[in-house]
Structure 1
Amino acid sequence: MKIFSEKHQITQAIDALKAEKLTLGLVPTMGALHDGHLALVKQALANNDKVAVSIFVNPTQFDNADDLVKYPRTFEQDIELLKTISETDILVYAPTIDDVYEGNTVSEKFEFDGLEFEMEGKFRQGHFDGVGTIVKRLFEIIKPDNAYFGEKDFQQLQIIKKLVEKYNMPLNIIGCPIHREASGLAMSSRNTRLKSAYKNAAPFIYKTLKTAKLHFGTKSAAKVSQWVEKQFEAHDLLRLEYFIIAEESTLKTVKRKTNNTKYRAFIAVYADDIRLIDNIALN
């Protein structure tokens, strides 16, 4: 497996692949890989000749410095997991901060037609500028034909589609289904930091989402939101940050349901000091 730590190295390797008319997929990650990431890589390999996997904990998308320090880093284990999928068709780009940011570790400023101000944007200042900065740079360095993102970060997925549209980037963005643990908990690198009691409690998040989906068939969005808030008020360990029902395309909070509109429920919950997000399609 080829591992590159400098962009000029991987650029040369990719230029050689392009010269052979091979297609290239990209799976951007921050490492601490789990089965959800591996599912993205497998999907990318099914659709492309080669796949680049980036492993880079991007400092500019963390609004909480403590979260950045504590973010799990398991590079050697990540490589071993990727080898179980392919040792010949995966390229790993694991750059330093300086290689990506060239000594200027700040975010570019982006406008995503208002998508950035909803949900996560209200609670994580500057987060999507950081996401846009790193993803745009990865696209420019790796030049993939297709890039794969999980729907767990559905708002991020919509924002990246908007980024590609606004900058006329020649690639396809492909969203892949949320990968869940047997308990229903959405897979996340942060799950490894959950203490036992909180790990046992966390599946309540998805259970609540599924019941909210049932209620959405007969009740207003406001009534469903009130019901969810009451469930978490009564919970001993989990603290609700937000529950929002929004239109999928605009991410605007729904005020009144209309026909022929796709809706999705989004949730953020604290399990001790660890923030977990999830979402579910409602119709």
Structure 2
Amino acid sequence: MKLIHTIEDLQRNLTEARAKGEKIGLVPTMGALHEGHASLVRRCVAENDVTVVSVFLNPTQFNDKKDLEKYPRTLDADCALLESVGADFVFAPSVEEMYPEPDSRKFSYPPVDTVMEGAFRPGHFNGVCQIVSKLFAVVEPDRAYFGEKDFQQIAVIRAMVEDLHLKVEIVPCPVVREKSGLAMSSRNTLLTDGEKAVAAHIFGILSKSKNFATNHTLKETRQYVVDSLNAIVGLEVQYFAIVDGGSLQELDSWSDSDDIVGCITVFCGSQPIRLIDHVRYKE
């Protein structure tokens, strides 16, 4: 495995691979890697000849500077994990390498980027599109792998790929969970053991809500999830939206769609840490 810090060096290596007709897969990450990331890399390795993993904490997608400052940075550990699961190249550029000058591009894909995370984190998805489009331009991957934990992000990236007519296949991969059910996230490292135990209730309540939904209205189910989680000391729901899995628009009735997903963001702990998850009601 080779650790690369510059676009020029990475592209030189990938040109050689591409000249041989090899398929290139990309796993974009912000570092602080865990088993969820490892699962993406394993799939990428299995489906491509060359696997590139980017490790870049992208400043343009953080609308809260404090959130950026406390985000964990663990490049040495990340590289050890990536080597163990078969990555070929780790691309870990500096901010100056990716943004030699400010990126003034604007991306807009309503309605998928204006609801939920788009509403609560202004500018977040524009920053995501800025960096992912840059990575796609640098790597020119045949396939790119993203975790379904960031359910809305995948919808936005797909819209961007279509808009820019990019020849890359977006591969969504299932959420990987801790034994407690808590969705694996780099942010989990910021939780104490006690807070992690509390955070596990997020998926627990979401799971129970699937059974609750079988004999309750969509509105009642939404309220059940919000009230149940807010009743737990240490948790505070920012939003819970039950949406169409394609358009991400909120629904009024279970009969409104054949693809229904509940997307949630919850604050946990004393800092507090912002955690996201989702549950599928119909697919």
**CA–CA distance in structure 1, aligned partners of residues 213 and 264 of structure 2:** 15
* 1:31 matched residue in structure 2: 31
* 1:276 matched residue in structure 2: 275
Identity %: 39
For residue 260 of structure 1, report the CA deviation from its aligned partner: 5.6
Cα deviation, 1:201-227, whole Å, max 9, x if unaligned, reads 010000011011122222211110111
Q: How does 1:53-202 map to 2 (within 5 A)?
A: 53-86=53-86, 90-104=88-102, 106=103, 108-202=105-199
| Equivalent residue pairs, number | 280
Matching residue's letter, 1:8: E
8 Å CA contact 1:121, 1:127 repeated in 2: yes
Q: SS in structure 1 opposite 2:113? A: helix
**CA–CA distance in structure 1, aligned partners of residues 32 and 104 of structure 2:** 23
* 2:19 matched residue in structure 1: 19
Q: 2:262 aligns with which of 260, 265, 269?
A: 265
* 1:253 matched residue in structure 2: 250
For residue 233 of structure 1, report the CA deviation from its aligned partner: 2.8
Q: How does 1:177-256 map to 2 (within 5 A)?
A: 177-256=174-253
1:259/1:126 CA distance change after superposition, 3 Å: closer
Q: Normalising by the residue count of structure 1, what TM-score does the alignment of the two structures yield?
A: 0.96
8 Å CA contact 1:11, 1:141 repeated in 2: yes
**CA–CA distance in structure 2, aligned partners of residues 77 and 108 of structure 1:** 33
Matching residue's letter, 2:239: Y
Q: SS in structure 2 opposite 1:200? A: helix
**CA–CA distance in structure 2, aligned partners of residues 267 and 233 of structure 1:** 12
**CA–CA distance in structure 1, aligned partners of residues 78 and 188 of structure 2:** 16
Displacement over 4 Å in runs of 4+: none
1:107/1:64 CA distance change after superposition, 3 Å: farther
1:122/1:260 CA distance change after superposition, 3 Å: closer
Q: SS in structure 1 opposite 2:178? A: coil
Gaps of 5+ in 1: none
Bigger shift: residues 153-162 or 229-238: 229-238
For residue 259 of structure 1, report the CA deviation from its aligned partner: 6.3
Cα deviation, 1:103-145, whole Å, max 9, x if unaligned, reads 32x4521111321111001110100000000000000000000
8 Å CA contact 1:31, 1:57 repeated in 2: yes
For residue 164 of structure 1, report the CA deviation from its aligned partner: 0.6
**CA–CA distance in structure 2, aligned partners of residues 200 and 259 of structure 1:** 35
Task: Please report the RMSD computed on the Cα atoms of aligned residues, expressed in angstroms.
Answer: 1.1
For residue 234 of structure 1, report the CA deviation from its aligned partner: 1.5
Q: Normalising by the residue count of structure 2, what TM-score does the alignment of the two structures yield?
A: 0.96
8 Å CA contact 2:201, 2:229 repeated in 1: no
Cα deviation, 1:40-67, whole Å, max 9, x if unaligned, reads 0000011101100000000000011011
Matching residue's letter, 2:52: A
For residue 281 of structure 1, report the CA deviation from its aligned partner: 1.1
1:51 paired to 2:48: no
For residue 255 of structure 1, report the CA deviation from its aligned partner: 1.3
